[in-house]
Structure 1
Amino acid sequence: MIVVTGATGGLGGATVEHLLKRVPADQIGVSVRDVAKARPFADRGVRVRHGSYQDPAALRDSFEGAEQVLLVSGNDPTADMVSLHRNAIEAAVTAGARRILYTSLHAAIPGNPYPPSEVHIATEAILAESGLAWTALRNGAYGTLEQVLGPWQQTAVIAQPEDGPVPYTDRAEVAEATAVILAGDRTFDGPVTLTSPTAVTFEDVAKIASDLTGRTIKRVVLDDEQWVADQIAIGVPEQVARLMLTFYQASRAGYFAEASPLLTELLGREPSSVADRLATHLTA
């Protein structure tokens, strides 16, 4: 059995949908905090059990019979996510799972100034010490491009701090590739990187957007502190703004510059490019 945590969330839920196309429903389980929200999966024959990273006993029950467990990483900045991930890993060990797949982060390496990297580095270390086979899926940045680029369609300007090349990745394709790994015969040990095959800068994106729209979309580099102040002025909490700033700082230092061909291999096709994604949004 394959058990997926966080199955009522975006990445976990999409992964289950892709698994249902590849394996029988009775070979899939989900571990969720709110069982009622997973009713659509239960109606299709998926085993639904309550599980929470804060409740090790519930996790052990929800992982019962699992050969593989997909641990979708938490992202609560107020919680001790490393300890919560440890709870999940230990529960999987106790439940007798053979392999854990964990959703990590692209460039989760020492020195990366983007703070979530520290959580993933620590969690990967726990996995390495667990005694189980494990795979860390170091996923590329898969937030919506609209969130990253700002209101460029209204302003004709991409006004963000100095950045660097990033292989912006489609979450739906990460979910599909994750399901391919879980359902397939090919195994991956340790960290693997799942990203779009091409890293781009905001300058590149401005050129792409200009070509798509027939308008001149300018790239304007904002001072870091001015950008933070602007974000606060429009209602973004300062903590959130400063966290996002560290992402730009990591990108400009080159931490996200390296892309990987593995996503392309797993999908069996070329992943969506930034141009594809912008075009889809423009025609939606």
Structure 2
Amino acid sequence: MIVIMGATGALNGATVEHLLKRVPAEEIGVSVRDVAKARHFADRGVRVRRGSYEDPAALRNSFEGAEKVLLVSSNDPHADGVSLHRAGIEAAVDAGAQRILYTSHQNSRMDTPFPPGPEHAATERILAESGVAWTALRNGFYAHSIGWLLGNWREDGVITAPADGPVSWTDRADVAEAAAVILAGNRAFDGPVTLTARQAVTFDDVAELASRVSGREVKRVVVDDEEWTAGEPEEIARMKLTMFQASRQGHFAETSQVLAELLGREPRGITL
């Protein structure tokens, strides 16, 4: 059995949908906080059980009989994500899983200004020490999130943002499908596997794309980090700023052929 955690979320929910096209429903289980929200899976024959990082006993029960478990990374910025992920890994090991997969992020490492990076890196270290085969799906920066950084370019014709570096913006739907391909297939991916679009672009490139899409010139204006963060709630502004700081250091410039190979087509990048 393949058990997927967080299946009512956008990423792993899409993975379940793709998995249903490749594997009989009775061979799929989901571990979710609210089983009522997963009724659409239960109605199709998927095993639905309650499970969350905060309840290890329920999590172990939701993983019962699993050969493979796909863990979703915590998205709570106020939680101790590493401890939560450790609980998930231990629950999967206790349940007898033969392989644990985890939704990580490209270039996960301790020395990055992007806060999720060290958390993913620490989780990967726990996976490596678990004694079970493991795969870290190092997904590229999700392309839809660029909209949070571009400002009101459609209205004013200007993309105003701090200095940046190349980013291999990757479609979330593509990596969800790729996870299903890996889960359903016989090809073993041991350790980290990078899943990104095949091109990394800067905001200068994005301004050129915006110009083509809109039919008018869209300018790229570079502003000081502190100037850009003014006027937004500090916590949100600082999180966004770390993306620019990390991209300037090349942390998101890596590209990979693996996603295209898994999909059997060209991965999608950003769309405006």
User: What TM-score does the superposition give when structure 2 sets the normalisation length?
Assistant: 0.98
**Quick check: 1:63 aligned with 2:59?**
no
Q: 1:257 Cα deviation (Å)?
A: 1.0
What CA distance in whole angstroms lies between the structure 2 residues aligned with 1:102 and 1:16?
15
Aligned to 1:171: 172
Amino acid across the alignment from 1:39: R
What CA distance in whole angstroms lies between the structure 2 residues aligned with 1:261 and 1:106?
13
What CA distance in whole angstroms lies between the structure 2 residues aligned with 1:148 and 1:21?
35
Aligned Cα RMSD in Å? 0.9
Structure 1 moving runs of 4+ over 6 Å: none
Deviations 1:65-117 (A, max 9, x none): 00000001011111111000000000000000000010001110231111111
Q: Residues 164 and 202 of structure 2 are in contact (CA less than 8 Å); yes or no, is this contact kept in structure 1?
A: yes
**Quick check: 1:250 aligned with 2:251?**
no
Q: Residues 143 and 269 of structure 2 are in contact (CA less than 8 Å); yes or no, is this contact kept in structure 1?
A: no
Aligned-partner SS, 1:122: helix
Aligned to 1:229: 230
What CA distance in whole angstroms lies between the structure 2 residues aligned with 1:91 and 1:136?
17
Amino acid across the alignment from 1:263: L
Aligned-partner SS, 2:3: strand
What CA distance in whole angstroms lies between the structure 1 residues aligned with 2:143 and 2:152?
15
Amino acid across the alignment from 1:89: I
Alignment of 1:43-122 (within 5 A): 43-122=43-122
Structure 1 stretch 244-253 or stretch 137-146: which is displaced more?
Answer: 137-146
Q: Residues 167 and 252 of structure 2 are in contact (CA less than 8 Å); yes or no, is this contact kept in structure 1?
A: yes
What CA distance in whole angstroms lies between the structure 2 residues aligned with 1:89 and 1:4?
13
Aligned-partner SS, 1:149: coil
Aligned to 2:187: 186
What CA distance in whole angstroms lies between the structure 1 residues aligned with 2:240 and 2:88?
27
Give % identity.
Answer: 68
Q: 1:143 Cα deviation (Å)?
A: 4.8
User: What TM-score does the superposition give when structure 1 sets the normalisation length?
Assistant: 0.93
Aligned residues: 271
Deviations 1:36-79 (A, max 9, x none): 10111111111000001000000000000000000010111111
What CA distance in whole angstroms lies between the structure 2 residues aligned with 1:143 and 1:229?
24
Query: Structure 1's 123 and 246: CA in aligned 2 closer, same or farther, altered over 3 A?
Result: same
What CA distance in whole angstroms lies between the structure 2 residues aligned with 1:257 and 1:139?
12
What CA distance in whole angstroms lies between the structure 2 residues aligned with 1:167 and 1:260?
9
**Quick check: 1:149 aligned with 2:166?**
no
Gaps of 5+ in 2: none
Aligned-partner SS, 2:101: strand
